[in-house]
Amino acid sequence: MTEEPNDLDEEIDLVASVGPLDAVVETLRDILHRSGALRVAVVVDLPDGAPAALVDVGRLAPVEVRMGDRIMHLPHAIELEAEALSGAIELRQLPPFDVEPETGQVTGTLGGMDMLADAMRDLAALLGGRSVAIAVYQTTTPKIDLTVTARTGEPVLVTLGDHEWELPDR
């Protein structure tokens, strides 16, 4: 009897660089560490009609880069010959937000949600095109994370568990 291939059987290449995406990896690690996020990921809109790349950086986890059918992992702390592009993005670590997933109520540091939304907007704009920036933050509610998603020209989305809201324009 043969087993059907599944996602667990995907081949993963362990690499020391992802070439032109090294600066994106450095940028996401910088944002992850400065903001205290659990995870920061981007879908990078690549030029010349190339398929988009997914770069995903989590706490104490390998960096994952997906380009087409190829999956690459880099050690989280590997030194790359690239600089983070995120120096101008304002971020600082905040205490976890209190959230009510059913109503969308988020309570925390004054201006904190705006800072996180602006950071994801700025990151998406920095990467250009139709790139998407996503950051996941811990809340005080067990098993409910706060996810902030942005794409240039679109409203910022906030997700709490299975519920999603658009942030109003300011």
What's the pLDDT tens digit per position in 115-154?
999 999 999 999 999 999 999 999 999 999 999 999 999 9
Residue type, 116: L
* Separation between Cα atoms, residue 30 and residue 26, nearest integer Å: 6
pLDDT of residue 145: 97
pLDDT of residue 7: 55
Q: Label residue 113 by pLDDT band (50, 70, 90).
A: very high
This prediction has a pTM of: 0.91
Q: Which residues contact 123 (CB under 8 A, 6 or more apart)?
A: 27, 31, 42, 86, 89, 133, 150
For 85, the token pair is 């592009």
* Separation between Cα atoms, residue 162 and residue 43, nearest integer Å: 21
Q: Is the dihedral of CA 151, 156, 160, 161 positive or negative?
A: negative
Cα–Cα nearest to 18, from 62, 73, 85: 73
Please report, for residues 28, 114, 134, 161, the alpha-carbon distance to residue 97 in angstroms, rounded to integers and kept in the order given.
22, 13, 17, 14
